Structure 1
Amino acid sequence: MKLYQGMGPNSYRVRIFLKEKGIDVPMQEIDLMTAEHKAPDFLKLNSLGQIPVLELDDGTIITESVAICRYIEETHPEPPLFGTDAVSRAKVEMWNRRAELVIFATIGNVPLHSDELFKDRLTQFPAFAETERLAVPKKWAWLDRELADGRPFLAGDNFSIADITAGVCGWLGEVFGMEIPDSLGNVRRWNERVRSRPSWNV
């Protein structure tokens, strides 16, 4: 296997996932700042020009960070990060989707609609970026209320990909000046618990 990756939250998610699995995969850094992801050779791997990309030994290409993680889960099931039975798998899926749609999307829309790096990717609306920035604390406040039951991780007692996704949201928010509010004790305790894991230093 070979992982094409670089800076950014989606590559970070996959690197954390691999570390949690204890798997070493050869990696090739793709430089977004020099538009290496838009080069013809890379577009043959992913026509959308996005990272990460996992290339299997037989040449099969898998894109999208969660799809890559699902492949890794199937081929290296221990420790389980997508749940272990019907209920836990559904809850992990639910919380991963919530983290993506409620928090990740809101934080991500800020740089997407305001940062120079993305100006050629879409039509930017700076006012929308500011609206999303103002909404971020409300999204974390929602999660704080959800975690008020004292469970250690988003989907229950066990660490999962949902915690990776939401933890990367916290990291991304810090990068763009949208830290988790100090008043949200439940979220901050969860965040500290997740990011104290060795897998975050990748």
Structure 2
Amino acid sequence: MMLWTAANPAPNPRRVRLFLKAKGLELSATDLSLMKREHKSDAVLALNPRGQVPFLELDDGTVLAETISICRYLDELHPEPPLLGTTPLERAETDMWIRRAETVLGTPVSLAWQHGHPFTAKLVQQIPAMGEQARGNAQTAFAWFDGQLQDRQWLAGTRFTLADIALLTIVDFAGWIDIKPPATLTALADWHARATARVA
């Protein structure tokens, strides 16, 4: 089994790496340089036609892409400690918070990256106004998550889950592109400190 991945700050490869760390798992890995566009090479496209990382190449040649799909597969193989839930309700709650992390915060951060960062100017036709609007939407998302975390330790209540890992990688990538929550959002800051320590 081989994990094809890339170094920080890329949030999706990091999401799987933190999941593995939280699980206490180690996989053979091949690191690709995103700056050198190695993920778009013919050899990589033959394995993953989307030309994105991470993806997991199984011993029989099967390829699994998309971070949550990879983590689900590994969680089935190694159920302890449970990071997706052990009951139908827990798994549904984890899914709900993953989707919220990806859509409520992940979408504006992604749009800000695509339409407002110098690196991506070489790759997409940027709409600067969209990038600016996305930065504002990310701040609204930070405030929403801060409100949700007022009375809970983790997104899914008392359980540290893949949802926390998903949100952590998005918050950290947002910071890397200079989108940071204000210090007044103390519940979010406290959660961030706990989550960072949990996967350290």
Cα distance in structure 1, aligned partners of 2:153 and 2:116: 35
Aligned-partner residue type, residue 186 of structure 1: A
State the shift of 1:45 in Å: 1.1
The reply to whether residue 28 of structure 1 matches residue 30 of structure 2 is: yes
Equivalent in the alignment of 1:140: 142
| TM-aligned CA deviation for residue 114 of structure 1 | 2.6
The answer for the alignment partner of 1:80 in structure 2 is 82
Amino acid at match of 1:185: T
Identity of aligned residues (%): 38
Secondary structure, aligned partner of 2:64? strand
2:110 aligned residue: 108
SS of residue matched to 1:62? strand
Aligned to 1:3: 3
Query: Is 1:180 the counterpart of 2:155 in the alignment?
Result: no
Give the conservation status (yes or no) of the 8 Å contact 1:33–1:117: no
- 1:196 match: secondary structure: helix
Q: CA RMSD in A?
A: 1.3
Give ranges in structure 1 of 5+ residues lacking alignment.
none
Structure 1 match to 2:192: 191
Contact 1:113 1:129 in 2 (8 A): yes
Match of 2:43 in 1: 41
TM-score (norm 2): 0.95
Deviation per CA, 1:18-51, whole angstroms, max 9, x where unpaired?
A: 1111111011111111111111001011111100
Distance, in Å, in 2 between the alignment partners of 1:124 and 1:160 is 35
For normalisation by structure 1, the TM-score amounts to: 0.94
Question: Within the alignment, does 1:91 sit opposite 2:89 as a pair?
Answer: no
- SS of 1:77's equivalent in the other structure is coil
Structure 1 runs, 4 residues or longer, greater than 2 Å off: 114-124
Confirm or deny: 8 A CA contact 2:117 2:177 kept in the other structure: no
Q: CA deviation at 1:147?
A: 1.5
> Which amino acid in 2 is paired with 1:184?
L
Q: 1:39 to 1:116 in 2, by over 3 A?
A: farther
Aligned length, in residue pairs: 198
Q: Is the 8 A contact 1:5 1:30 kept in 2?
A: yes
C-alpha distance in 2 between matches for 1:124 and 1:26: 37
Secondary structure of 2:56's aligned partner: strand
Q: State the match for 1:65 in structure 2.
A: 67
The AA in structure 2 aligned to 1:2 is M
Q: State the Cα distance separating 1:122 from its structure 2 match.
A: 4.0
Residue 139 of structure 1 deviates from its aligned partner by 0.6
Partner secondary structure for residue 69 of structure 1: helix
